[in-house]
Amino acid sequence: MSTVEGEDALLLAAAKPPKVRRRRLRWVLLVLMAQYTIVAMLVGLSVAGILRYVVTPQIVAKFEAVEAALKRLPSP
């Protein structure tokens, strides 16, 4: 019996340890995706704010200037 128990011990010693890498890799990927999502939201909100409060008034002002110029033209 001692040789069988010795072989079992050798087999158990030679067996690979359970893989913890996958769980750690998933956690790292989850953290990276969370950071990417937060940064993307901040960039998107910044762009939306710039468009809303800077670009849009300039475009509206140009259209109003064109409208005023067209009103000043003599009627045919």
Q: What is the mean pLDDT of residues 29-53?
A: 96
Tell me the Ramachandran region of residue 26: left when phi exceeds 0, alpha when psi lies from -120 to 50, beta otherwise: alpha
Q: What is the pLDDT of residues 26-36, one digit of tens each?
A: 999 999 999 99
CA angle 42, 43, 45 (to 5 degrees): 65
Write down the pTM of the prediction: 0.54
Number of folded domains that form the chain:
1
Distances (CA, A) of 53 to 34, 35, 49, 56, 62: 29, 27, 6, 6, 15
Which range of residues forms the domain containing residue 22?
2-72
Tell me which of 43 and 8 has the higher pLDDT.
43
